[in-house]
Amino acid sequence: MTHDCDTPVPLTELIAYHAGELPVGDAERIEAHYFGCASCSERLETLSRLDTGVCALVHAGGLMAGSTAAMVQHARARGIVVREYRTDPGEHVQCTAGPEDQLLVTRYGGLQGITSVDVNFRGAIMGTDQVIEMQMIDMPVDQATGDLVLIAPAKLNQSFPALEIEVRLTAASPEGSRQEGPYYYHHRPWSLLDDDERRRRAGR
């Protein structure tokens, strides 16, 4: 069954309502409308389903995105198992992904005053001449820390072979583009590590 509405609430307004951004009077007007409108209440319900779905995806360790340190803290507070590594330009990190991890967080420092970077990953698979390359465009920098905070599914990292990873960032600035890094990650599969090595790679 389809429901029509002659005066649908604009999606921008439904989103603002869902996000709790509207003044009381506007929120009450929208409530008065959707309580009597099957179409608009279904559209609002769609936002609620997306909200629940994104939360479920993060809980399942299935989201890859630029994030913030505060959101990572929020994930930890909700019981999500996070392994986190942080590097400044030129630094090397010994890393892995444990069997219990849900989210793997990598933070790239030294980006104060920058709001956006393009990310280039280059991972050489040890013992082979194969290379994994990945690029991410316009990734936002966490302004509270000056770090690029990337969250990734731990399952993805658990599937990686031993990798020597080099990450280079390109930041756009009024003076032109500026290179940051490289940042070095030495990934080893959990199963290949002894207890001492696992502790050494515990992260934050």
Partner 1 sequence: MPVPEPIRDTSDAELASAVILGGAAGNSAAEAELCRRFGRRVRLYGRRRLQDSAVDDLVQRVMLIVLAKLRAGQVDAPARIDSFVLGTARFVTRELSRAGSRDAPLDQTMPVPLDETRSDPLAVQSLSACLESLAGRERSVVALTFFHDQNATEIGVALGMEPGHVRISRYRAIARLRTCMGLGPEEVVA
- C-beta of 96: minimal distance to partner 1 in Å? 23
Q: Closer CB to partner 1, residue 31 or residue 197?
A: 31
Are 75 and 152 within 8 A, CB to CB?
A: no
Beta-sheet strand order (sheet of 92-95) = 92-95, 176-187, 163-173, 116-125, 131-140
**Three-state SS for 103?**
strand
- C-beta of 64: minimal distance to partner 1 in Å? 7
What sign for the dihedral angle of Cα 47, 53, 54, 59? positive
User: 82-113 as b/e, with b when 16 or more CB fall inside 10 Å?
Assistant: bbbbbbebebebbbbbbeebbbbbbbbbbbee
Q: Which residues bind partner 1 (CB under 8 A)?
A: 1, 11-12, 15-21, 31-32, 34-36, 38, 41-58, 60, 62-68, 70-71, 74-75, 115-116, 136-144, 151
- C-beta of 47: minimal distance to partner 1 in Å? 7
- C-beta of 120: minimal distance to partner 1 in Å? 13
- C-beta of 21: minimal distance to partner 1 in Å? 5
Q: Closer CB to partner 1, residue 43 or residue 186?
A: 43
Q: Closer CB to partner 1, residue 126 or residue 144?
A: 144
Q: Closer CB to partner 1, residue 47 or residue 93?
A: 47
Are 89 and 182 within 8 A, CB to CB?
A: yes
Q: Closer CB to partner 1, residue 24 or residue 195?
A: 24
